Amino acid sequence: MNRPLLAICDTEKEYCRRLDEYLRDHLNLSFEICSFTDTEIFKEFVKEKIPALSVLSQSVYMALSRGGIKDVKNILVLDEAVSFVNEDEGQEEEKNVCHISKYLPAGKIIDGILDFCVKIPENIGNLDAERGPEKVKLLGLFSPLSRCGQTAFAVKLCEELSKHGKTMLLNFDSFSMVTEIMGQDAEEDITDLLYYAECEEGKFSVYLERIKRGARGFDFIPPAKTATQIKEITFERIKALTKLLSDIAGYEYIVLDLSEFPDGLCDILRICTRVFTIVGESREENYKFEQYTKVLSQNGYDDVLANTVRCLLSKDGSYGGLSTYASEVLEREELVSE
């Protein structure tokens, strides 16, 4: 795959080295990254190859602004001064130039790069992850029982799956606790990602990188806030999103925690590689499960029932025990190798 080029140029050698290393480790877009600590070498380089995106220190940018980077566009300037007087806003707008403080934490520099990529009018190149050699495994969780520990189980499944491949968790519970469980708060959520994917699919990888959160070895998209928003996430939209996550972002395992009732729930379960349903032992729990299976059967979803794995979770609340159980279930169903 021909990857777009991201060039860094800063004459502070240690800063340039650290930023290069951080971007390679944490900017999960398929940029080819190259770094320069000599302004003249960078000037000669861009005569032969124009970067898709250039991250330049303010001093380098000022040194090159008078003809040294005439053909270079998409420049993120790392401002070194407390205040910066822009003498030619028109030229900067034409060349797609943005500014951010050089002395922000490295994670904020990445946020600045992602925001800049979103604002660039045209797609700057193929930033998609390489597709895996095997078809994605789409795992659904749904139970007619309430407060049954399904989200905690979904998190543990993802922890175990992440040991075998790139894993994404999508939660569909209103006022979900998943962000609290993961210790990750967020302003944008899955409804924003769906909107962006439908409007600007060419920049899906950039929007995904900006919105997703990661912890415990896997990624998750912050869930919608309310049941009304969840009901608007239809089967077709979920199908399209999981395809993008697989084909463009390279996820090998996608876990759907279906605690609410998105439109087309049964069809969502039908496209899953496997469906995990938490069951209980009490008379009430057994009755609810029987009614759930009857509804599926009466509506022609016997294939979903045949693909369902019943999971009886321990009542002692042992998180370590849940991890062991998740690992055993995945191995027994041959969803991961030992």
Say what the pLDDT of residue 7 is.
Answer: 97
CA 180 to chain centre: 18
CATH number for 5-119: choose from 3.40.50.720, 3.30.750.24, 3.30.420.40, 3.40.50.2300.
3.40.50.2300
| pLDDT value at residue 337 | 73
pLDDT of residue 120: 82
Q: What is the pLDDT of residue 236?
A: 94
Fold adopted by 137-332: Rossmann fold (3.40.50)
Could you check whether 5-119 and 137-332 share the same CATH topology?
A: yes
Q: Is 137 in contact with 168 (CB distance < 8 Å)?
A: no
- pLDDT at position 225 is 83
Residue 297: predicted pLDDT: 95
Give the predicted TM-score (pTM) of the model: 0.85
pLDDT in tens, 187-206: 889 999 999 999 888 899 99
In angstroms, the Cα distances linking 197 to 66, 93, 171, 211 are: 39, 26, 18, 12
| Low-confidence spans in the chain with pLDDT less than 70 | 1, 67-68, 82-91, 94, 123, 129-134, 184, 260-261, 316-320, 338
pLDDT of residue 90: 60
For the chain, domain boundaries: 5-119, 137-332
